[in-house]
Structure 1
Amino acid sequence: MGYLELALQKEKSLLCKRLGHKFKMASPIKTRKENRQVLYQCKICDQEAWLQWPEDSFNKLSENAEKSIA
């Protein structure tokens, strides 16, 4: 990841270690199902990071995303 090292904080927000900006889940939600990854983006410096989620959490997120599209 180079400069884009992420730290999971107690409040479950992701921070860019290089610049300290907060990452938020991409909107609309973007996923990679084969790796259970979710895209996070920084709205300030345009950096992106794919974060792997636990299987049960990823499945719930995917179900909710599909329901919101329908």
Structure 2
Amino acid sequence: MKKTLIEDIKELIKTNKEDVIEINPKFLDYFTQEELESIRDDLVIKKLTQKDNNSLFLDEIYEKTKKDKI
């Protein structure tokens, strides 16, 4: 289960699909399963929040450019 969590975390850290993320395998010994789950969950929330913020920012820019063209 810990290996799966590490793989999930690596995927969440990626900013591009081509990125190769390496995480020290000793983290499997260092972190508990609950800690890894917490890290994964935090990354999911941050990724969702970032997407929402980017969307709002892009909408704002779009609205400003619409006003400038009229």
TM range (shorter): 0.3 to 0.5
Higher helix content, 1 or 2 = 2
Higher strand content, 1 or 2 = 1
TM-score (norm. length: structure 1): 0.32
Rg comparison, structure with higher value: 2
